[in-house]
Amino acid sequence: MIKKITSIRFIFLILMATICGENLYSDEIHIPGDYPTIQQGINAAAEGDSVIVAPGMWYEHLTISDKSITLGSWFLTTGDTSYIRLTTLNGSNTGRLIAVGNADTGTRICGFTIMNGRSVAGSAIWINSSIVQIDHTDIVNNTAECGNNQYAQGGGIACYSSNLTISDFTFSNNQALCSTPPVNPEGGAIFARDSELHLIRGTLLNNFAFLGGGLGLANCNTLIQQVDFVANEAPWPGGGICAFGGGLSVKECIFRENLGEGITSMYEGWLDIQNSLFAGNTRGAISTMDHQVLTIINSTIAANGPSRNLYISVPEARIYNSIIWGEGDTEITFSGPTNDLYLIHSLIRNGASGISGNAEKHIIGPLLSENPLFADTVAYSLSDNSPCIGAGIDTITSYPNLAAPLFDLDLNPRPNPAGSSPDLGAREHELGSPVTGVINPEPLNSTISVYQPEREFSVLQVLN
């Protein structure tokens, strides 16, 4: 009898495991193999399931609500990047493409081209009260457009009260528009409010909005790393980024030829920039205002705006191991009654006289003012005889306590060679000290790659 009861119990457990298997393990739903439309597949998916979409042009407007799933192309299962281009979600300019709401355990969108969405906010993807990961996705030609007295936010993505990570991406030719005053459209590529936002390895190219041509932020904590902001436009603040409040950390990024400032940041918060290049931004590199702390570490800021690179109206700014080199008499403009400026082992054109306004200057280490002798005017790498080679410092333990990053903009080791002092600027030279008595070559203004090869971008641009 005991043996019989044990056998029945064993069979019962097997049956329960079979019945409940769908809840214990995630399933894959294939479109169109299992369902003819993507939305039908999403509706059928349980928490944690994957909806995998075959290559093609898909004309759907999708909703993911109250559950967390993975929505991916065949890239998800093969790793073949050609499926990103071959699997397109097309909104036909008739509405938003994807809406994600209350997905609080993590939804992933992976391996698509998302294009031609149109709505008042988040025309490619709208996110609210969710945890979302978007990767290996290109978001192209989407428009946020206001109606009568409405807002317009996020031509590509709008994110509210969420945690959003975007990696290995391209945003191009997205826009936020409105012809009805006093509405000011925000975030040509991305708009986020009251959110945690991480952008890693990607490009924002040729996006437009009145505020924040590339990225518009409102009270967010944001980390941006290895991202290029190129030729984005904002008639008002922030050609690349416009941030209202919150914290913004920018590492290994390039801001080039944005129509407006590279970054505008204002209200309560902080702005921390490391290993980044700002060049050719029409209204200046960086503009900071109100109660913030600005820190710039091992960055190169050159040839931005008609008269200055930096506009600073904050209580405290720190410039460490950096190069600020423009074409006018003034490189940094301070506004406001009291400002503390810490200049630590850096180079500024015209030295202390290149700084205007009422700033108390705390100069730690040498403040260089001679020509940095860039090897070119695109990458702004250092020539062999640049005075910036080996002119930096690894750490400063007095206030403010800062340290040089372990890698440079191109992810090469810093300092190089090991045991030397770090260089000034975003790119570390292979020499530990400058070669003297060498005539600096003419700047290289030929056809070059705008994006870094190690980031796997190959778009070419001719600069005169």
Q: Looking at residue 23, what DSSP letter applies?
A: H
pLDDT attached to residue 339: 83
pTM of the predicted model as reported, rounded to 2 decimal places: 0.88
pLDDT in tens, 13-27: 333 333 333 334 569
pLDDT attached to residue 380: 97
pLDDT in tens, 321-349: 999 999 888 999 988 777 899 999 999 99
Judge contact between 295 and 272, C-beta under 8 A. yes
pLDDT in tens, 16-65: 333 333 334 569 999 999 999 999 999 999 999 999 999 999 999 999 99
Record the tokens describing residue 126, joined without a space.
């709208």
Domain edges within the chain: 48-214+227-241, 265-464
pLDDT attached to residue 17: 37
Please spell the DSSP secondary structure of 73-111, one letter per residue: ETHHHH--THHHHHEEEE-TTSS-SEEEES-TT-EEEES
Cα separation values, 414 from 118, 153, 200, 319, 392, Å: 45, 39, 21, 18, 11
Q: What mean pLDDT is predicted for residues 151-165? A: 97
Alpha-carbon distance of 306 to 284, in angstroms, equals 8
Q: What is the maximum span of the chain, computed from C-alpha positions, in angstroms?
A: 99
List the end-to-end C-alpha distance of the chain, in Å, as a whole number: 92
Residue reference for tokens 């570490």:
297
Amino acid identity, position 361? K
Instruction: Give the bridge partners for 99, in sequence order.
Output: 63, 126
Alpha-carbon distance of 222 to 212, in angstroms, equals 14
Alpha-carbon distance of 448 to 254, in angstroms, equals 15
pLDDT attached to residue 92: 97
Of 316, 275, 277, the closest CA to residue 293 belongs to 316
Cα 53 to chain centroid distance, Å, stands at 27
